[in-house]
Amino acid sequence: MNELATHLNDIIKKYNPHVFNLLSNMGKKLYYPKGILSQSAEATKKATRFNATIGIATEKKVPMHFEHIQESLQGYSPEDIYPYAPPSGKLELRKEWKRKLLRDNPSLHDRLIGLPITTNALTHGLSLAADLFVEENDTIILPDKYWGNYQTIFHVRRGGNLKTFKLFDNSDTFNVLSFRQCLLQQKDAGKAIVLLNFPNNPTGYTPKEREVEGIISVLMEAAEAGINLAVILDDAYFGLFFEDSVKESLFGRLAGIHPRILPIKVDGATKENYVWGLRVGFLTFAADSPIILEALEQKTNGLIRGTISSSSHLSQTIILRSLQSSQYEEEKYKKHNIMKRRAMKVKEIITREKYKEALGFYPFNSGYFMCLKLNQVDAEELRLHLLNEYGVGTIAINTTDLRIAFSCVEEEDLEELFELIYRGINDLVIKGVSKNV
């Protein structure tokens, strides 16, 4: 093993052996090489005469560039567009995102967290966490309603086994018992990766305060039972809380609560700030020692350097400016209200007496989606029927569940959308062709 990796491992083992035991084999081997980038970073500070280190080109002391590109990016200086950003991201952006985390998550104010590491949006952040902590046959515990891409990220790429618990109990609240049962089964293995995503895709659910207390006490019980836990909080839809759920990430509640619990926050601008294609996200660790945070950051930097090398500099510049803009809060509030009005309208429509028999639904109070629970027809057959006969696109999750992204339907069109879904169900019921049992 490289001596820098051994050094990082020794540090992690010394300050928290549980964190060391959570690392995958790849995680153990990772380190940030003292290669071109660190020599170049040194030169940026000290080489006042000539800086002949890094593989970009310059002209008249400005990054060389095409005028026809620069013309379409008026208002951005070449230094903020063309050079490589560091693997961990633009420092100013990372600091700005940390300030945002502290503002948005009151529980974080007295907790120790790292500087967010910039990722190529959330999928990349999740993938980094998987590479660092998931070993072949490790168990990933997650609710039975989850984003399909987790299969590729955690199972196909890393060989982890996805093990689900029931998200909802009979009272339509977070199923703490099922979560507990699933987690405590990992006692013999002594390790689990817990993957929580609130607001949840596909249901649009975020737990309420009492449910969160239940989740945390189960995690504490598992940690006390000797299970090392990497708890990944996928906060893709953070902030889009419309009702009486908690309004902060579980990351703040978990930071520093137990030496066997390593909280990892994966979030970003993608959904929160409506910039899906810009690809700017973050991965943030919480730990009980700044030395562990530094070691984990070094390993993550090594991983980024060996995969994408760094994220888009221009995208990072755009997001940094946005976060610093005086219009940021006002515009965010406006968009939040649009999304909230849509969610409330959906709730008003689907609770109507007329739809009761045909359209069941899972609890939702946040995010982009809601998920219908179909009692009479098969979700995939309904999806195809709605598409072919009515030009309506939805997502079939399994035989009973149909995901509706109200995020991309105007409030005044929602009435018609659900009427068409209802009509589609009735068509299939009348034909007697479709059953989902």
**Binding region for ligand PLP (CB under 6 A):** 121-123, 147, 197, 201, 234, 236, 268, 270, 276, 281
Scanning the structure block, which residue is given the tokens 């420092």? 91
The encoded tokens of residue 361 equal 């639904």
Q: DSSP secondary-structure letter at 153? A: I
List 117's β-bridge partners, or say none: 283
Of the pair 80, 234, the CB lying nearest ligand PLP is at 234
CB of 69 to ligand PLP, least distance (A): 25
The encoded tokens of residue 99 equal 């300030």
Of the pair 117, 122, the CB lying nearest ligand PLP is at 122
CB of 102 to ligand PLP, least distance (A): 22
**Coil, helix or strand at residue 319:** helix
CB of 130 to ligand PLP, least distance (A): 12
CA distance 176 to 196: 13
CA-to-CA separations, 282 to 20, 116, 228, 238, in angstroms, rounded: 22, 6, 23, 13
Of the pair 54, 275, the CB lying nearest ligand PLP is at 275
Distance from chain centroid for Cα 161: 19
CB of 213 to ligand PLP, least distance (A): 23
Of the pair 197, 249, the CB lying nearest ligand PLP is at 197
DSSP 130-185: HHHH--TT-EEEEESS--THHIIIIIITT-PEEEEE-SB-TTSSB-HHHHHHHHHT
Nearest to 87 by CA among 285, 299, 292, 230: 299
Of the pair 274, 276, the CB lying nearest ligand PLP is at 276
Asked if 122 contacts 267 with a C-beta cutoff of 8 angstroms, the reply is yes
Q: Which one-letter amino acid corresponds to residue 243?
A: E
CB of 280 to ligand PLP, least distance (A): 8
CB of 70 to ligand PLP, least distance (A): 28
CB of 209 to ligand PLP, least distance (A): 22
Nearest to 199 by CA among 249, 153, 162, 163: 249
Of the pair 2, 274, the CB lying nearest ligand PLP is at 274
Of the pair 119, 228, the CB lying nearest ligand PLP is at 119
